[in-house]
Amino acid sequence: MKKFEIPDKYKSSIIAGIKNSRKLEDPRKQNFEPTILDFGDLQFYIARHFGFCYGVENAIEIAYKTIEENPGKRIFLLSEMIHNPGVNQDLLNRGVRFLMDTRENMLIKWSELTKDDIVIIPAFGITIELQNKLKEIGIDAYRYNTTCPFVEKVWNRAASLGKDDHTIIIHGKLYHEETRATYSHSKQNGASLIVRDLEETKLLAKIIGGELPKEKFYDLFAGKYSEGFDVDKNLNKIGVVNQTTMLATETQEIADYLKNTMKNKFGESKINNHFADTRDTLCYATYDNQNATYGLLNKNADLAIVVGGYNSSNTSHLVELLEPKFKTYFISDANKIISDKLISHFDIHSKTELQTENFLPVKEKINIALTSGASCPDSVVDDVLKKLLSFFKNVDMSVINGK
């Protein structure tokens, strides 16, 4: 796999050593058990796989090279390049400006742009509509394009489905930049529909099976289907793709549920005429990060800490996986650990930041499960680990020295 050039500030000392040793021991990633770092009074279970993925490193390399190679030029990002506040802030500090926020609300008027400006496309991709808008100004949207190759793989699969007269079912979050981009591209090639989760999928299945009147479709999925969508015509032949940062198991569950729905309607012998197998579009990094999180669940930790941007979809799903077993704290960086008695953390359900006192249990030895999202630099995880270690007197630092 390609090795990317990313700024030193995002690299780590501790985490890099752990990752390198695991790669040597398990190059094919067949073992998803966590790495154990035992410092004495404090022990960490470090997820087998986490942090920057291929798509994020690719985006960071392109963005920083663009800045370096274009001194004096005005450089814009379509919106957040990745969902990490530290990386985005550093780009802003270097003079890059955001054209819009993550919901496509304009921060800078289109009329302010000229054909000589540089616009970097984020890792989530760009909609056809925005691509055409830039083209009207004279800006090539693909000149400085950091779209993740695995997102583009989903677009290509959706295109092939559409050309084969399948309706494209997109498992994703309606307002997420990646889902908007995928939907924009897929509807150019075929009827398209976004479903958020299994519950919405079950409603769709009832419409396909005739348990709900077809007219209900247009209310239940308002704003989520392509123009001219015809329930009688467009729900007879389908395929499922996803926003690559969704739970891989949920995408597969949705696909399996719809496949069974089509079997019940058309018969098992005809299923290949009505349902396409699309499991090959699942992102490897999302899949690995989530499997590594299941590995953490095999351990008896006192708490879990997940590090990443609060608007990061893939990171929030790691929190979802850990919460049923562990008291889980979702933090953006080490500064959120205010002291050994107080932590500020994000609640994915209320979408608010909370403060919890006495988050570290009072016991002889504390065990913490630790992981991060795909857009979180390893250096930030290093900082979190060191901050936690600083609260303990009896720790053996030789565990990480020399790694």
Catalytic residue annotation: 178
**Burial class (CB within 10 angstroms; exposed 0-12, middle 13-18, buried 19+) of 5:** exposed
Q: Are 320 and 247 in contact (CB under 8 A)?
A: yes
**Burial class (CB within 10 angstroms; exposed 0-12, middle 13-18, buried 19+) of 256:** middle
Q: What is the Cα–Cα distance from 339 to 154, expressed in whole angstroms?
A: 43
| Share of the chain residues as helix, strand and coil, in percent rounded to the nearest 5 | 40, 15, 40
Count Cβ neighbours within 10 Å for each residue of 309-337 and write b for 16 or more, e otherwise: bbbbbbbbbbbbbbeeebebbbbbbbebb
Q: How far apart are the first and last CA of the chain?
A: 23
**Burial class (CB within 10 angstroms; exposed 0-12, middle 13-18, buried 19+) of 171:** buried
**Burial class (CB within 10 angstroms; exposed 0-12, middle 13-18, buried 19+) of 286:** buried
Q: Write the single-letter amino acid at 179.
A: T
What is the three-class DSSP state of 281?
helix
Signed CA dihedral, 228, 229, 232, 238: sign only? positive
Q: What is the DSSP string of 30-43?
A: ---PPEEEE-BSEE
Q: What is the DSSP-derived secondary structure letter of residue 401?
A: T
Task: Reduce the secondary structure of 121-141 to three states and give it as a string.
Answer: ECCCCCCHHHHHHHHHHCCCC
- Compute CA distances 84 → 142, 234, 329, 377, whole Å: 23, 38, 17, 9
